[in-house]
Amino acid sequence: MIAVWEEFFRATFAACLRYSKQREAALKRAKLSHADLEELAIGSVQVERSVAEFFSFQRPSAIAETFKLLDPKLDLAAPLRKPYRRRRVPLYDSIEALVEQRNALVHAGDISLGLFDKQLETTMTDLTEAINRAYNYIAKHYGFVPNHDY
């Protein structure tokens, strides 16, 4: 689930970077490796994608910070902090916690046994809602009509 979440934001960042008037901040911040530069030299990867690979797109906080490199007024945390289904915990915080659980499993082998069918369904719904909110926010910010035919 987190891999899909991460890929959505990585691909979106690469697309926004391609057309951004403020590319310089992101280009300066990305520390491309020798292998990255070799791929760029032979044309097997786009510059924007290579730069996007440098950044982390798991945590909402990191995602928001990275997108601000493209435009300081682009605050992707804002739509995720809005109330959702009368919950006390906004999507922003619940996804941060989900990433923490994922990292505990991957890096320490700590398994959370609380992710049963109902919770898994809720998590999938939350991630979908968060992605849609972020996509709509980006569309509004850059002035294009969002396409939800995916």
DSSP string, 85-126: TT-SS-HHHHHHHHHHHHHHHHHH----TT--HHHHHHHHHH
* Residue corresponding to tokens 């289904």: 85
CB-based contacts of 4, cutoff 8 Å, min separation 6: 127
* Residue corresponding to tokens 């987190």: 2
Alpha-carbon gap, residue 82 to 145, rounded angstroms:
21
Tens digit of each residue's pLDDT (9 = 90 or more) over 16-62: 999 999 999 999 999 999 999 999 999 999 999 999 999 999 999 99
pLDDT of residue 48: 97
The pair of three-digit structure tokens given for residue 75, joined into one six-digit string = 């605050």
Tens digit of each residue's pLDDT (9 = 90 or more) over 76-123: 999 999 989 888 899 999 999 898 887 676 666 666 666 667 788 888
Contact 76, 62 (CB under 8 A): no
